[in-house]
Amino acid sequence: MEPLRSLILAAADNDVIRRVVATAPGSRQIVARFVAGDTVADALRVVQTLAADGRHATLDYLGEYTSDPELAERTVGTYLRLLDELAARKLAEHAEVSVKLSALTVNGDEVLASRNLGRICEAAADCGTTVTVDMEDHTTTDMTLRVVEKARRNRPWVGAVVQSYLRRTESDVAALAYEGSRVRLCKGAYAEPAAVAFVDDHEVDLSYVRCANALLEGGAYAMFATHDPRLVNVLRQRTRWYGRQRGSYEYQMLYGIRPDEQRRLAAEGETVRVYVPFGEQWYGYLMRRLAERPANLALFLRALVSRS
């Protein structure tokens, strides 16, 4: 399965394949399974649907690695408008936002990324919700953690993300595992070299559990991002072992993946947050979702050749 995953991730950076996928007659059918839609209104409709059965959302306006100052500013503006609408519709208690720093800045400018993140955090505070800063490929990890640390000086609730497939992550978690620190723990979905990332799935899982233990022991508000039923069972045992009450941690899953499990956990009283992407720049996101579960590839290919 690993060669197929590598092939899919390589396709995520291929402009020719991107154009073919974007113009194929059945592409929107499969995109709609994983992406809420193109607009803020589409994202808000999904939040309302999730809230109706006790689930929460974190909203991601798709886009990354920006080199255009106008596009970066439009991205910030979209987040500000989204937050205003969450407040106006009284949905802020059900949703926060997730942001990628590379979409908020130009060519990796850390000062601009920090300034634009601050604008989004101020708007989130005004409407009564929070912000989580997504982690991207390993070359951005140090910058991302620095920007998060700076943002937390004024907004200690700003969420950080760590990826268990990176060899460095246990060390990063040790610095983040303190009382009240909001940390999303995921496996990771970028193509990374073996020098910096575990290649074997079992090693990634073992790292995930070690990081989860550290977050729970340290008192962090852990956000467990996984669809793996084995890991969910382990996490439920570990939360009990550390005496953590429901509401002092949460489970996170992606929009369109295992919705029945999401509803089941929420019905049992667990906090469940769904990662809801929206926007027109869906291609890279979709490829990473297919790479995480290559079994979805057959469904995707059937949709691409469909004429309906």
pLDDT tens per residue, range 149-196? 999 999 999 999 999 999 999 999 999 999 999 999 999 988 789 999
Q: Is the pLDDT of residue 294 over 80?
A: no
- Classify each residue of 113-142 as buried b or exposed e, where b means 16 or more C-beta atoms within 10 Å of its C-beta: bbebbbebbebbeebebbbbbbbbbbebbe
Q: What is the sign, positive or negative, of the torsion defined by CA atoms of 178, 86, 39, 267?
A: positive
- CA distances 229 to 74, 270, 288, Å, are 38, 15, 20
Round to the nearest angstrom and report the end-to-end CA distance of the chain: 30
* 137 carries an active-site annotation: no
Q: Determine the average pLDDT of the residues in 255-274.
A: 95
pLDDT tens-digit profile of 176-185? 999 999 999 9
H helix or E strand, kind and range, residue 287: helix 283-292
State how far the Cα of 53 lies from the Cα of 155, in Å rounded to an integer: 30
- Per the CB < 8 A criterion, the answer to whether 120 and 108 are in contact is no
State how far the Cα of 258 lies from the Cα of 160, in Å rounded to an integer: 24
Q: Which of 60, 134, 137, 172 is catalytic?
A: 134
- Per the CB < 8 A criterion, the answer to whether 236 and 271 are in contact is no
Position 282 confidence tier, pLDDT thresholds 50, 70, 90: confident
State how far the Cα of 205 lies from the Cα of 236, in Å rounded to an integer: 15
Task: Report the pLDDT value the prediction gives residue 291, as an integer from 0 to 100.
Answer: 66
- Per the CB < 8 A criterion, the answer to whether 119 and 76 are in contact is yes
- CA distances 258 to 55, 227, 264, Å, are 13, 7, 10
State how far the Cα of 38 lies from the Cα of 61, in Å rounded to an integer: 9
Task: Report the pLDDT value the prediction gives residue 17, as an integer from 0 to 100.
Answer: 58
Q: Determine the average pLDDT of the residues in 75-95.
A: 98
* 134 carries an active-site annotation: yes
Q: Is the pLDDT of residue 2 over 60?
A: no
Task: Report the pLDDT value the prediction gives residue 303, as an integer from 0 to 100.
Answer: 47
Q: Which of 184, 238, 273, 289 is catalytic?
A: 184
Q: Determine the average pLDDT of the residues in 55-63.
A: 96
- Per the CB < 8 A criterion, the answer to whether 225 and 255 are in contact is no
Tokens of 231: 């890991």
Task: Report the pLDDT value the prediction gives residue 13, as an integer from 0 to 100.
Answer: 60
Task: Report the pLDDT value the prediction gives residue 159, as an integer from 0 to 100.
Answer: 98
Question: Which residue, 123, 114, 130, 139, is CA-closest to 182?
Answer: 130
State how far the Cα of 228 lies from the Cα of 114, in Å rounded to an integer: 33
Task: Report the pLDDT value the prediction gives residue 16, as an integer from 0 to 100.
Answer: 59
